[in-house]
Amino acid sequence: MRALIQRVTHASVTVKGEVVGQTGPGLLILVCAMLGDDEGKAETLAAKIAKLRIFPDDAGKMNRSLRDIGGGALVVSQFTLAADTRSGNRPGFSSAAPPDEGKRLYESFAQNLRSHGVPCETGRFGASMQVALTNDGPVTIWLDV
């Protein structure tokens, strides 16, 4: 699985004018299931993100995890993270998992994150979404598992 995480002070996702998910201080997590991914990868990615020390401690060093700060997560599916731009001008997405499998793994990832004690809201899989965020730091990290 692949994720782009952003440390945020606030993030929200809107579908057709309705806010369907949001978080205060914590992470916006854009996630993509890739071909060959399974439940184990969803669990591994969730565990890694829950424990990743990217929040400042009292000395200002990135030394605290999402769980340490009691932060939340907003998880948004984004198959475009699978974009292959090596040739031509139009990205290819053939390395993304098929939609049914992608949805299952996206939901599994969010549930696994919750099982690690992280309050988690989500976007709406397959919908046209508008994502708003205030990136804190800014801190943006790419993860592949």
Work out the pLDDT band at 119, boundaries 50, 70, 90.
very high
Does the domain at 2-144 match CATH 3.40.50.2020? Answer given as no
Q: Could you confirm whether 6 is annotated as catalytic? A: no
Q: Could you confirm whether 79 is annotated as catalytic? A: yes
- Tell me, what DSSP letter sits at residue 13? E
pLDDT at 64: 98
| Global pTM value | 0.96
> What is the rounded distance in angstroms from the CA atom of residue 76 to the CA atom of residue 61?
28
Mean pLDDT of 60-73: 97
Question: Exactly one of 6, 14, 55, 79 is catalytic; which is it?
Answer: 79
pLDDT at 118: 97
| Four-CA torsion 60, 61, 66, 67, nearest 10 degrees | -90
Each domain of the chain, given as residue ranges in start order, spans 2-144
Contacts of 110 (CB under 8 A, 6+ apart): 75, 120, 122
